[in-house]
Each structure stands twice: as C-alpha cells, then as structure tokens.
Amino acid sequence: MAPTIKGNFEAEPELYAYEVPDSNGDIVQKMPPITFEVNADAWNYGVVKPIIETVLKSHIPDDIEVDDLKTLCTHPDIVKFEKSREFKERSNTLVRQYIAMDDEVGTVGLKLINRIYSTMNETATRWIRENVKPL
C-alpha cells in the first residue's frame, strides 16, 4: 500500500505536498504522514468488509464513512472473528486474489482503488489543514 500512496503523492504533489523550512532554513516539500491511516482503511474496506459481508450474509454500504467502518471493525465480535483461523484463511485468499488481479475480485478491487484515492485525499487535506502553518 505504501508504494501506491507514495506514487500518488509523487504524481500529484500539488495536491498533497506542503512546504516547510528544513534545518538549514531552506524551503522543502513534504508529504503528510498519513500512510498508517490510509492503510488501515484500505484493509478494513478491501479485506474485512467483504469477509464480514460474506460470513454474516449482510451488506455494508460501499460509501460507508472511514470512521464508521473503523467503528464497525472494532466491534468486539468482529475483533474476535478477525483472530480466528477462518478469517486468516479468507483474508490470505482475498489478498492473493487482489495481487493476482483475479476477475472474481475485480469490481471490489476497483472500488478499493477509488477508496484509497479518496481516503488519501481527505486524510492528507485534513492533516495539512490541522498541522501546517502558512510560511
């Protein structure tokens, strides 16, 4: 996931970069430290959500907010299930399917890519707004 985030940053630094003085006083571009948050949401959205939907035979909306999905994934029953052998086997299979670009997960994969971009954009924008002071 980190290479995807880094690639997005490098492709569109005007959207994500901010400028700060370095230790020599020179102005340098930096990227917000959002990798952990984006990775966590990608895991919840791309792995935990589809497995929960399959096992519980329920539907979680594709447009679920990041915080709502995080809350759902921290529910004690879900946390307990994530520690099970069944979850580990299903998650390994699903991740292998994503890596192989298996047609069976193609639609979910595209939704996951869109989710990564939107989460990255929202998280970076929020981090910059809350943490970067104008020069």
20-49 pLDDT, tens digit per residue, is 999 999 999 898 999 899 999 999 999 999
pTM: 0.82
pLDDT for 106: 85
**For residues 90 and 70, what is the distance between their CA atoms, to the nearest angstrom?**
20
pLDDT per residue as tens digits for the range 47-102? 999 999 988 888 999 999 999 999 999 999 999 999 999 999 999 999 999 889 88
| Residues 6 or more apart in contact with residue 5 via CB below 8 angstroms | 34, 35, 38, 39, 116, 120
How many CB atoms neighbour CB 16 within 10 A? 23
For 3-43, strand residue ranges (E) read 18-21, 27-30
The arithmetic mean of pLDDT across residues 104-133, rounded, is 90
**Domains of the chain, residue spans:** 33-131
